[in-house]
Amino acid sequence: MFVYADNAATTSVSKTALEAMLPYLTQNYGNPSSLYSFGQKAAEALQSARETVAGCINADPREILFTSGGSEADNQAIVSAAKLGARKGRKHLISTRFEHHAVLHTLAKLEKEGFEVTLLDPHADGVIRLEDVEAAIRPDTALVTVMFANNEIGTVQPIAEIGALCRSRGVPFHTDAVQAAGHMPIDVKAMNIDMLSMSGHKFHAPKGVGVLYARRGMVLTNLIEGGAQERGKRAGTENVAGIVALAAALKESCEHMEENTARILPMRDKLFAELAKIPHSKINGSLAHHVPGTVNMCFEGIEGESLLLLLDDNGICASSGSACTSGSLDPSHVLLSIGLPHEVAHGSLRLSIGEYNTMEEIDHIIETVPKVVAYLRGMSPVWDELQKGQRQHLI
Ligand SMILES: *Cc1c(COP(=O)(O)O)cnc(C)c1O
């Protein structure tokens, strides 16, 4: 049996998205900047996609900028707010310790350029506290950026509350909503969000296309110079087919959000309930504030990487830490940020399921993981020491 349980890393392209994009790869291949009607067909498709995306998050179409993905949107949002702030003498940026590297590395670069960065720690439940954001805001704060939902542990942050706070203080607020878009309701007006990032491939559109929503009045800095595409804020001939697919996929996900959630939750809950029976295991991140499909657990005495390889042998695609960090042996910065000791964080497993998964697949995971954990513990010197009492159990 093949089970794809890594939907937080990427998703398959939906039939709807594929069918929507195909004509723009075949017969309607015009350049949207061309003046003849053939090119204008592509321009109309872009406009229609912009309206669709705006409609899904209660934005104005003019506030939607298409990018090459979530990383570019994060980079542009943060750099823009920093540059704008610096012009007014504000050089302080607030974020969290468990952001995606697209955010953390952009902040680190700005720090080298003379900005001051405050990274807030999430609490042990994986949630950032409003009062911590409030306490960090200073007169020279140029930006608050807090992710909507964490990509490794799935916890959802109090975005509307942080938005209201930032609006009342006159501080621009950006959220990396890559894990939330298409999976949870988003209303940029009601939530007082000034800038927001999305990525198509996390909701069944192709890879390499994303969205930066920027509220009217937000001054954006270009990352890419050239032609006047995207209102002059992002040069380069648009990825028309990808953008059309993104809009179609987002619309489909938003229209079916309730039924998708109703399909995913029983699978996720069964996974948690069954895997939590494994001794010395721990669920990471509070389930009270959670995206539907992400399950993150730690198993003491084993290495996440070995677990993944054995799961792969059993046809299961899962992850340990995020896709971007796997390959390095450092434990996940997200798990460390919620206070897990290094030894425990090493034994982590992320299963992220979607509406295409089935209960049979969940049962296959539930059957396989305990066997694999037991097998690895049987070979683990750390587990041996734990058994002999030469080492204390941490979970
Ligand atoms: C996947 C992801 C990104 C990066 O998006 P890309 O389109 O792959 O560049 C950024 N932030 C979060 C939270 C993500 O999960």
Q: Average per-residue pLDDT in the chain?
A: 96
List ligand 1's pocket residues with C-beta within 6 A. Answer: 69-71, 74, 100, 102, 147, 151, 176, 178-179, 199, 201-202, 210
Is it the case that residue 318 has pLDDT exceeding 90?
Answer: yes
Q: Which atom of ligand 1 is nearest to the CA of 209?
A: 7
Q: In the structure encoding, which two tokens stand for residue 307, read together?
A: 């677990």
Q: Which atom of ligand 1 is nearest to the CA of 199?
A: 7
CA of 70 to the centre of ligand 1 (A): 5
Does the active-site annotation cover 324? yes
Q: Residues 97, 120: contact at Cβ < 8 Å?
A: yes
Is it the case that residue 326 has pLDDT exceeding 50?
Answer: no
Q: Which atom of ligand 1 is nearest to the CA of 74?
A: 10
Q: What does the alpha-carbon distance between residue 235 and residue 145 come to, in Å, rounded to a whole number? A: 25
Q: What does the alpha-carbon distance between residue 319 and residue 10 come to, in Å, rounded to a whole number? A: 11
Neighbours of 391 (CB within 10 A): 16
Is it the case that residue 110 has pLDDT exceeding 70?
Answer: yes
Parallel, antiparallel, or unpaired for β 294-299 and 348-352? antiparallel
Residues 162-219: tens digit of each pLDDT: 999 999 999 999 999 999 999 999 999 999 999 999 999 999 999 999 999 999 999 9
pLDDT, position 331: 87
User: Residue whose CA is closest, atom 5 of ligand 1?
Assistant: 70
Higher pLDDT pick, 82 / 343 = 82
Q: What does the alpha-carbon distance between residue 308 and residue 302 come to, in Å, rounded to a whole number? A: 11
- Cα 245–Cα 29–Cα 51 angle in degrees, nearest 5: 40
Pocket test for ligand 1, best of 72, 76, 146, 151 (most atoms within 8 A of CB): 151
Region of residue 59 (left: phi > 0; alpha: psi -120 to 50; beta: else): beta
User: Residue whose CA is closest, atom 14 of ligand 1?
Assistant: 178
Catalytic residue among 56, 254, 298, 324: 324
CA of 149 to the centre of ligand 1 (A): 11
Q: Residues 172, 218: contact at Cβ < 8 Å?
A: yes
CA of 10 to the centre of ligand 1 (A): 9
Threshold 0.85, pTM exceeds: yes
CA of 199 to the centre of ligand 1 (A): 6
Q: What does the alpha-carbon distance between residue 85 and residue 272 come to, in Å, rounded to a whole number? A: 44
Q: Residues 303, 346: contact at Cβ < 8 Å?
A: yes
Is it the case that residue 322 has pLDDT exceeding 60?
Answer: no
Pocket test for ligand 1, best of 99, 178, 291 (most atoms within 8 A of CB): 178
pLDDT, position 323: 46
Residues 240-289: tens digit of each pLDDT: 999 999 999 999 999 999 999 999 999 999 999 999 999 999 999 998 89
CA of 313 to the centre of ligand 1 (A): 27
Strands, DSSP E only, in the chain? 3-4, 64-67, 92-96, 116-120, 141-145, 173-176, 195-199, 210-214, 281-283, 294-299, 316-317, 348-352
Q: Which atom of ligand 1 is nearest to the CA of 207?
A: 7
Give the H or E element holding residue 119: strand 116-120
